[in-house]
Amino acid sequence: MPRPIPLSCACLLALAPLAFAPGVAHAGDWLDLSIVDRDSGSTLPEYRHRGDTWVPGAPGHRYSVRLTNTSGERLLVVLSVDGVNAISGQTAATEQSGYVLEPGQSAEIDGWRKSMQRVAQFVFTDVDDSYAARTGRPDNIGVIGAAVFRERRVRPLPPPPIMLPRSYEGAANKSRGEASAAADAAAPQCIGTGHGESQWSPVDSTTFRRASNRPTEVVSVRYNDVATLRRIGVIPNWRPPVNRRPQPFPGGFVPDPPRGD
């Protein structure tokens, strides 16, 4: 039986870092986040639309959340899927447990953590079959987020020479997010994240003391099925250009000319 982990100072550490993390990623200042389709093996493409980052999910496909620490220090990442903490199953809040990444480490989170050894796989599924909806929390289906915390330094930093007034961080992002949500409200959320089959995914416990109660940054991506993303304009309805240049060797044989009346 895994021993309990105090939420105030201890979190989880992924034991299987990736040596290289290719593909598109939603890059923050400290953390890169990308979504990997585990059935196709490809990293999902990302589209910017009205201030949000979107990825197209295929119903029935398993996926993982790839987290890459791009900094030179340890980071705590609290992972939220559809508004639910991916470790505890609680309605997500930034003060909860998360995964600790070493400097430069990349790891794939494959599912809802069931124990220190196993997860229930993340899978794109109908909204009604999603874990959030089945547990009575459907309001935030369609978003994956990571709250990033820096570690408290052993040696205290020297005080600044002057005191600057504190500004409210994130106000512009909040306004942008509210405007985007209102603009996309007419589009239904067609897929969510289901509670898939059990999978071996061992982790170990470690201690981590946050440098601040507020996250250093929050990185998030939204997702839906391809048809819906095309309908709301996230994925452009691109068509290949028509090549109108005459071709000297179009192929084929000489046909008979049309007969006159």
DSSP string, 54-99: EEE--TT-EEEEEEEE-SSS-EEEEEEETTEETTT-SBP-TTS--E
Distance CA 61, CA 221 (A): 18
Identify the bridge partners of residue 210 per DSSP, sorted by sequence position. Answer: 151
79: which strand partners? 146
Tell me, what's the pLDDT at 257?
79
Range of the domain at 134: 10-153+186-231
Distance in angstroms (rounded) separating the CA atoms of residues 189 and 224: 6
Kindly state whether residue 172 falls inside one of the protein's structural domains. Answer: no
Q: What is the DSSP letter of 4?
A: P
For 23, left (φ over 0), alpha (ψ -120 to 50), or beta? left
In the chain, which stretches have pLDDT less than 50?
1-10, 14-24, 167-177, 179
3 located within any domain: no
Answer yes or no: are the C-beta atoms of 56 and 224 closer than 8 Å. Answer: yes
The tokens describing 72, both together, are 């030179």
Summarised one tens digit per residue, pLDDT across range 148-204 is: 999 998 766 666 676 555 543 443 344 444 545 555 656 799 999 999 999 999 999
Distance, CA of 50 to CA of 24 (rounded, Å): 19
Residue 48 is predicted with a pLDDT of: 94
Rounded to 5 degrees, φ, ψ at 203 are -135, 170
Q: Is residue 199 part of a domain?
A: yes
Q: Of 129, 111, 102, 255, give the one whose Cα is nearest residue 189.
A: 129
Percent of the chain with pLDDT over 90: 66
Q: Examine residue 165 and state whether it is found in any structural domain, yes or no.
A: no
Please, is 118 exposed, middle or buried when counting C-beta atoms within 10 Å of its C-beta (0-12, 13-18, 19+)? middle
Domain count, the chain: 1
Residue 255 belongs to a domain: no
Of 75, 80, 78, 79, the closest CA to residue 104 belongs to 75
